[in-house]
């Protein structure tokens, strides 16, 4: 493995972690705030009366996750590549 692929791999892993944390703070916490229970297997919020709750901004979050994933992976990869080249 060369230095570029190591930095890209770490950038993608960091990006996935950031997206998962952001998902917890937006989708899961919003579900719990509305009195629901988030089902991780289906990815849906089930309210106490067995209705499925969907926030209005969920579709926009998918686009935001995609853009943030690319941006975080790129920036992390650049920083790691710079750090490896100094050594």
pLDDT digits (tens, 9 = 90+) for 31-77: 888 888 988 888 888 988 888 888 788 788 888 999 999 999 999 99
The pLDDT assigned to 26 comes to 85
Distances (CA, A) of 53 to 19, 39, 44, 56, 62: 21, 11, 7, 10, 17
Q: What is the pTM of this model?
A: 0.77
The pLDDT assigned to 2 comes to 64
């Amino acid at each position: 493995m060369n230095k570029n692929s190591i930095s890209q791999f770490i950038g993608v892993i960091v990006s996935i972690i950031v997206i998962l944390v952001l998902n917890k703070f937006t989708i899961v916490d919003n579900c719990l705030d509305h009195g629901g229970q988030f089902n991780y297997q289906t990815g849906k919020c089930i309210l106490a009366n067995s209705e499925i709750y969907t926030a209005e901004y969920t579709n926009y979050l998918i686009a935001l996750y995609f853009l943030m994933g690319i941006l975080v992976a790129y920036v992390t990869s650049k920083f790691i590549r710079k750090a490896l080249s100094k050594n």
